[in-house]
Amino acid sequence: MPLEIHQFLCLSDNFGVLVHDTETGATAAIDAPETAPILAALAEKHWQLTDVLVTHHHADHVQGVRGLRAASPEVRVVGPAKEAAQIGTLDQTVKDGDIVSVGTHQAKVIEVPGHTLGHVAYWFEADGILFAGDTLFAMGCGRGFEAPAEVLYHSLMKLAALPGATQIYCGHEYTLSNARFARSVDPANENLKRREAEVAALRGAGRFTLPTRMDLELATNPFLRAADPAVQASVGLAGGDPAQVFAALRERKNRA
């Protein structure tokens, strides 16, 4: 049976996400930005929390863990081995290629350093779903806080190699601002023009813009298109190394 996904807001623009296996009743929270909204979502759905899958150590992704554990003492907290000391509340650590089960469903761990050094994503391959944390956003990507831009670029290329139909859940609702930046560096992209209008309409109606899809990101996300001549020309690096083009894009976005 397919995974059931419930997405909701935490803090100001973080996404809370619950992943529910209807066969066994197992339910995982992807990160824990804030305890109260997660507990409210569980109560609304009549689900029992069994797991928390942490993508990285930043406070807006882990600060709700202690409250969730207090409410559900048996919950298993899973997270990246390379950030175990910073997170401090992990029951199970994972590295690249490990498999994490939520009921009958399995997620492959993909190490995607860059935003943080130990950041991981969770890919439910059979379900066609990726939880990317703050590495990949709709039409954007996270800042490279703990590694050079080239490291983040190669992490993004790992994700870009996933099937085009992969549904992508990200850590924040940044899509409209990302669309505006994307248009500034890829103004002739007709797919991007249409998508910006669609995103503006969704946000105007108070609706979420996620999940996105990998094929849509490949067509409209400039950070995945650093090898495209039009994007390269926009940053003055025509024919350049895509990793260097990405670094220039990321620096421009940092200043935006």
Kindly report, residue by residue over 42-86, the tens digit of the pLDDT.
Answer: 999 999 999 999 999 999 999 999 999 999 999 999 999 999 999
Cβ-based neighbours of 138, under 8 Å, separated by 6 or more: 168, 170, 174, 175, 178, 199, 209, 210, 212, 217, 221
Considering the domain architecture, whether residues 213 and 155 belong to the same structural domain is answered as: no
Considering the domain architecture, whether residues 125 and 40 belong to the same structural domain is answered as: yes
Length of the chain: 256
Give the end of a domain, one of 111, 139, 169: 169
Please determine, for residue 2, whether its predicted confidence score (pLDDT) is greater than 90: no
Question: Which pLDDT value is given to residue 229?
Answer: 96
Distance CA 147, CA 163 (A): 27
Cβ-based neighbours of 5, under 8 Å, separated by 6 or more: 17, 18, 19, 20, 129, 169, 211
Are 206 and 138 spatial neighbours (Cβ–Cβ below 8 Å)? no
Considering the domain architecture, whether residues 184 and 160 belong to the same structural domain is answered as: no
Range of the domain at 184: 176-255
Distance CA 40, CA 68 (A): 11
Distance CA 31, CA 20 (A): 14
- Paired residues of 3 in beta bridges: 21
Question: Which pLDDT value is given to residue 248?
Answer: 97
Kindly report, residue by residue over 170-201, the tens digit of the pLDDT.
Answer: 999 999 999 999 999 999 999 999 999 999 99
Distance CA 35, CA 50 (A): 15
Distance CA 93, CA 236 (A): 42
Considering the domain architecture, whether residues 130 and 25 belong to the same structural domain is answered as: yes
- Paired residues of 120 in beta bridges: 111
Considering the domain architecture, whether residues 192 and 244 belong to the same structural domain is answered as: yes
Work out the mean pLDDT of the chain and round it to a whole number.
Answer: 97
Considering the domain architecture, whether residues 203 and 240 belong to the same structural domain is answered as: yes
